Amino acid sequence: MPKITIIGAGGYVFPLTLIRDVLSFPALRDAHFSLMDIAKENLDRTFGHARRLISQHGLPASVEATTDLQRSLEGADFVVVTFQVGGLEAYACDVEIPRRYGLDQTVGDTLGPGGIFRGLRTAAALDPIIEAMKQVCPNALMIQYANPMGINCWYSSDAGIKTVGLCHSVQGTSEMLAERMGLEPGSWTFKCAGINHQAWFIQFKHRGVDVLPLLCETMNAYAAQARAAHDAGNASDELYGGGGEQVRTAIMNLTGYFQTESSHHASEYLPYFRRTPGEVKRWLPERWDYYDICRNHDFEGLERRAAELAEQPLVPSHEYGAYIIDSMTTNVPRVVYGNVPNTGIITNLMPGCSVEVPCLVDAQGVQPTYVGDLPAACAGINAGSVAVQNCAVKAAQLHDRNLVHAAVALDRYTSTILTLDQIRSMVDELFEAEAAWLPQFA
């Protein structure tokens, strides 16, 4: 009977999805879930849904809810981290302050000033979790679902915690590419490697035959169709998601390989796509703003969705978390894509950074597979992002404001738009606005 602690369990849908995923596996139906959150009202809501789910399916699983971190972690086998420190209030600072300086982040949770400050806040919240895990569950695996994935995983791994970070961009992008190429389900395989939100499909095969040339041809045709539709005045994200993936296709044409994260998100990692409003419109005809989406969530709809999850058949989603828990519990081997420390896995990226690679999972745990050198252009793009993450992680470890300035200045989108003086002013303003969540930098 594994004990699974979920920290940040007060979310509307994801914590319940994870519980449902776990209970989809017969060997895990007696699992004990410890739900922990600092927001008791939200925690109680998830607790009620979880109890109903377990009762609905007549399972021997058990669930508790607590705001006591130490109690929740006591004897845990798996610790799932899924929270956003500061919620929408902090997120507003992450995106609205940079916008006043001319930086329009579509998401702002991975790199750039938004991703860096979210990482600093998350590191502060991870510190007590890390210390408690060392005391009461030193052998537990931390499963990171919180962004910025690369910074968070690097931080907790450096602190001596067994960590794997999980994201669905590899699964989602691989399925999109196969669909665009017209490949029937079950007939294709791939290999992907890099860093989170910037991993590369270095191999794609259909019935054992290399289809990377077809992938390039297909995505270029798709992007051209979207550009033509935009020029004719009838482009729409309903027809052409992410502007017809023009951004990712341009990056593919630069490197030779398609990357994992969406065109909207990818556009804020590099200096080529967001320098002027006209340039943004050219690459991404339909505006997409994740902060605005979050601010305008249909919370009643999310509540209905959570209630529906408790009633539906037990079928796992495409999230990897439950598969890892089942494989480590039953010794059934599986391959997943995880974010893990770079211990010689990708040989032309910085040792110790967080890399996203195929991993074998069984009773021995999460075992990354060797990749070797990434293609040079792919590694070059990743290296620039890793430099930002490195400064952000060191800044979080040392509580060093100067390293935060350096991290933001090294960000390629930021440095394309702002001078060093403007960057310093913006970072200082962010520190002032987010002081409540970053007391260690006072």
Cα 29 to the center of its chain, rounded Å = 27
CB 337 within 8 A of CB 170: yes
Residues with Cβ within 8 Å of residue 59, at least 6 apart in sequence: 23, 29, 30
Is the four-CA dihedral 336, 342, 346, 349 of positive or negative sign?
A: positive
CA distances from 417 to 9, 60, 103, 412, 428 (A): 38, 56, 7, 9, 17
* Closest by Cα among 283, 281, 301 to 293: 301
* Residue 8 backbone class (left: φ over 0; alpha: ψ -120 to 50; beta: rest): left
CB 263 within 8 A of CB 245: yes
Q: Point out the catalytic residue in the list 32, 49, 57, 168.
A: 168
* Closest by Cα among 21, 32, 51, 267 to 166: 21
CA distances from 396 to 100, 262, 305, 341 (A): 25, 28, 36, 17
Crossing angle between the packed helical segments 212-231 and 169-181, to the nearest 10 degrees: 80
Task: Decide if 168 is catalytic.
Answer: yes
Positions marked active-site? 168
